[in-house]
Chains A and B, each alone.
Chain A
Amino acid sequence: MAQEARGAVSRLDVDEPLNYEILSQRQLIWRKFRRHRVAYFCGVFLTLFYVLAVFAEFFAPYGAFTRDTNFLYAPPTPIHFVDEAGVFSPRPFVYKIVSELDLNTFRREYVEDKSEQYPVRFFLRAEPYKLLGFIETDIHLFGVDEGAALFIAGTDGLGRDLFSRMLLGARTSLFVGLLGLAVGFVLGLIFGGISGYYGGGADMLIQRMIEFLQSLPTLPLWMALAALVPPNWTPIQVYFGISLVLATVGWTGLARVVRGKLISLREEDYVLAAKLSGLKERAIITRHLLPGFLSYLIVHLTLAIPHMILGETALSFLGLGIQPPAVSLGTLLQDSQNVQTVTINPWLLYPGAVVVVIVIAFNFLGDGLRDAADPYKHI
C-alpha cells in the first residue's frame, strides 16, 4: 500500500523530480498479481483453507471418528438467531434435535425440540486431541454443550460429523497433492533439465519416454499402480504410496516445460558469455538458467496441484487410494456411491463441493500467477 501511495504522489507532484523505483523481478510479479483481484482473492482463500486444514482438529467441533449412534444420517443442524417468540439473540443457538421413527416409511426423522435452546459456544472444552500431532489440548473453536448436537454438514451412516471429517479429509487431500507435486517437481526438473540442456540422445530418449507415459490412459494406469499399494501398509505409508503414484504421470508435463525453456535459454548470448568466462555447468544452470524460468515453474506447479487433488479423489472414491479409516475427500465421497442413499441424504455430496471449490481456486490462482509472471503481459 505504501509503495502504491508513493507512486501516486510522484505522478501528481510535477515540481518534484520523478523518482523512479527500481523493482526486482519478484516485486514486479507481486505487484501485477495484486492487481489480479480474483487470483489474489483465491490465493488468500487457499492460504486460509490450508490453515484450516492444518489446524483441523481445532476448527472441527468433533473428532473424525466420534460416533453418535443417535444421529445416523442426520441432516445439517439448523442454526438460529431468532427464537420461537421472535426474540433476536446475537449469539447463534441450536435447538435440541430429537429423532423420531416415521412409522410409514420406517425412516428416522430428525426434528427440532423447540423447548430446549443451546447456544453455540466458542473456544469450549470438548474432546481432547493433539494439535499438530503433539500439543495436547481440548479446546475447540466452536461447539455446543452436551445434550445437543451441532452438525454443520450433517452426519454419515455411522453417525460421525461430516463437517469435522471434511476438514480432516481436506488436510489429507490437500497435502497428498503437494507431496505428489514435490516428487513430480524433482523428477520433472531432472529429466527436463537433462533433456533440454544436453539435447541429443538423452533428449530423444526422455522425450519418447514422456510421450509413452502421456499416451497411456491415466486413470487405468493409476488404478494399476494404486493396486500395488499393499493392504497391510500403515495409513502414512499408503499416503506416500498414493503420492508417488500420482507423481508418476504428473512429472511429464513439467519436464516438457523445463525442456522448452532451457532450449530457448541456452542459445542466449549471456549463457555463451558465461561459458566463455569458464563458469562450471552447474553454476550456469543454477545461477543463470534456473532464474530465467523459475516463475514459469511456479505457475505450472500451481496448475498441477488440482490435477493431483482430482486424481486422489477419484482413486480414493474407487477404493484404490487412501483407505478408510484414514479420511480424505475421496474416501468421504465413497459413502455417496449409492445413489439411493445420496438422494435421501444429499449432504453426503458436500465433500465433492469442497473439491470443486479448491480446484477452481487453484485454477484462478494459477491463471493469475501466469499473467503476473509473463513480462510481456500488462494488466
Chain B
Amino acid sequence: MLSYLIRRLLYMGIVLFLVSILSFYIINLPPGSWIQNYALELEASGDIVDEAELEFLLHRYGLDRPLHEQYIRWIVPLVTEGDFGQSFEWGQPVWPLIEERLFLTMTVSLASIIFVYVVSVPIALYSAVNQYSIGDYFFSFMGLIGLATPNFLIALVLMIIMLRVFGVTPGGLFSPEYLRAPWSLAKFWDMVTHLPVPVVVIGTAGTAGLIRILRAQLLDEFQKQYVITARAKGLRERFLIMKYPLRMAFNPIVSSVGSLLPQIVSGSAIVSIVLGLPTTGPLLLRALIAQDTYAAASMLLMLSVLTVAGVFISDLLLMWLDPRIRYERGN
C-alpha cells in the first residue's frame, strides 16, 4: 500500500518534470521572441527602439543564453523557492499574476465536476431503469446534442438567450463592485451566483459522456444473475438497485475522473475566454501569443499539476471504494 503510494508519487513527479520540459520547449520553438515582438511593436508605433534597453532586457531575462540554461534558470527557483519567474508582458512576477486565476480555475473545474456527477448519476439511473421510455430517449437525444456542440458555442447561445430574455450580459465571475475587492463572504457569494452559467457550459459534454457510460454499465449489471437472485428473493426494487448495481457502477464513475479532469480543464480554458472569466485560460492565450515564456510555461505546468493531482486523488478514491483494486495494488 505505502510502496504503491510512493511509486505513484514518484511517477507523478516524473510526469510533471516532463511536462515542464515539454511546455518550456514548445513555447520557445516559434521563431522570434518576446523581445523581438516588443521591438517590432515599438517600431510600428513610431517609438525609438533603444538598442541598449533591448540588450538589457535580453540579458536581464536571460534570453541571450542557450535554451537549456534558460530552462534551468526557470525550473530551479520554481522548485526550490516557488518562484515562477518574471512575466515579460506584464513586467511583474508570474506567481501573483496567476495565483488568484489558478484558484478560480480550480473552483470552476471543481464546481463543474460536481455538476457533472450530480446531474449525470440520477439521469443515468433513470434512463437505465426506464430503458426505451420517452424520458430515456429524451435524455439520450439531449446528451447527443451536448456531446456534439462545441462548448464555446453553448456559451455563446446561453449568453445570447440571457441578453435577449433578461437583458443582462452574463460573463465574468464577479459583479463589478467586487472585481477588485479583497476576499470576503459577500464576494464569495457573489462568485457563487455567477458560477451556474460557466459550470453548465463546461460540464455539458462531460455530463453527456458520463450518462452514456453509466447507463450502459448499469444495463449490463441489471442483466446479471445476482440481480435476478435478489429480485427472486423479494428485495424491494429500489433498495436492490441502490445497493448492488449502482455500487458496482460507481467504479467506472470514479475512474472516469482521470479522463474527465483534463477535459474539464481544457473546456474551462476556452469557455473562460468566451465568457470572460478571470481564470488562467484567457491569460494563457495571451501569454502564448505574446511568447511570454515564463508565464505561459508556468500556467501550462500548473494546469497539468491540477489534472495529474486530480487523477491521483481519483485513484486513491478508487482504492478506498473497491477492495479488489486495493488488494491488487497493495501487493
Contacts and interface: CB of A to CB of B under 8 A. Distances in A.
B150 A313 contact: yes
Interface in A311-348: 313-314, 317-318, 320, 333, 336-337, 339-340, 342-343, 346
Interface stretch (B42-50, B222-230, B244-252, B266-274): B266-274
B145 interface: yes
Interface in B46-83: none
Looking at chain A's contact residues, the main secondary structure is helix
Interface residues of B, number: 50
B164 interface: yes
A223 B153 contact: no
B26 A228 contact: yes
B148 A220 contact: no
B201 interface: no
A356 B148 contact: yes
A310 B263 CA distance: 13
Contacts of B265: 217, 220
A216 B30 contact: no
Nearest to B163: A343
Contacts of A317: 150, 152, 270
Nearest to B31: A230
B307 A223 contact: no
Contacts of B106: none
B18 interface: yes
B104 interface: no
Nearest to B154: A352
Q: Taking each of B157, B267, B273, B288, which has the highest tally of chain A beta carbons within 10 Å of its own beta carbon?
A: B288
A283 interface: no
Interface stretch (B92-100, B176-184, B192-200, B296-304): B296-304
A214 B259 contact: yes
A306 interface: yes
B89 to A, nearest CB: 14
Interface residues of A, number: 37
Looking at chain B's contact residues, the main secondary structure is helix
Contacts of A18: none
A86 B91 CA distance: 70
Interface in B18-42: 18-19, 23, 26-27, 29-31
B284 interface: yes
A223 to B, nearest CB: 6
B148 A360 contact: yes
B325 interface: no
A220 B18 contact: no
Interface in B267-295: 267, 269-270, 273-274, 284-285, 288-289, 291
A219 B163 contact: no
A352 B163 CA distance: 19
A219 B304 contact: no
A223 B152 contact: no
A115 interface: no
Q: Taking each of A220, A337, A340, which has the highest tally of chain B beta carbons within 10 Å of its own beta carbon?
A: A220
Given A219-B267, A219-B270, A228 B30 contact: yes
B267 to A, nearest CB: 7
Contacts of A333: 152-153
Interface in A346-363: 346, 349, 352, 355-356, 359-360, 363
Contact of A223 (B29, B30, B288): B288
A106 interface: no
A212 B311 CA distance: 12
A224 B296 contact: yes
Given A215-B308, A225-B26, A220 B153 contact: no
A295 interface: no
B156 A224 contact: no
Given A215-B304, A220-B265, A318 B270 contact: yes
Contacts of A356: 145, 148-149, 153
Contacts of B156: 336, 339, 342, 349, 352
Contacts of A216: 19, 262, 304, 307
Contacts of B254: none
B5 to A, nearest CB: 18
A378 to B, nearest CB: 16
Contacts of B10: none
B305 to A, nearest CB: 11
A317 to B, nearest CB: 6
B15 interface: yes
Contact of A224 (B31, B163, B288, B307): B288
Contact of A314 (B152, B296, B306): B152
B147 interface: yes
A339 B153 contact: no
Interface string B216-251: 000000000000000000000000000000000000
27 contacts: A212-B19, A215-B307, A216-B307, A217-B304, A219-B266, A219-B269, A220-B299, A224-B26, A224-B300, A228-B30, A306-B148, A313-B150, A314-B150, A314-B270, A317-B150, A320-B288, A320-B289, A336-B156, A343-B160, A343-B163, A349-B160, A355-B153, A356-B149, A356-B153, A360-B148, A363-B147, A363-B148
Interface of B: 15, 18-19, 23, 26-27, 29-31, 144-145, 147-150, 152-153, 156-157, 159-160, 163-164, 169, 171, 258-259, 262-263, 265-267, 269-270, 273-274, 284-285, 288-289, 291, 296, 299-300, 303-304, 306-308, 311
Given A217-B304, A223-B288, A355-B148, 19 more contacts: A214-B262, A215-B308, A217-B269, A218-B262, A219-B266, A219-B267, A219-B269, A223-B285, A224-B288, A224-B300, A225-B26, A228-B26, A230-B30, A318-B285, A320-B285, A352-B156, A356-B148, A359-B147, A360-B148
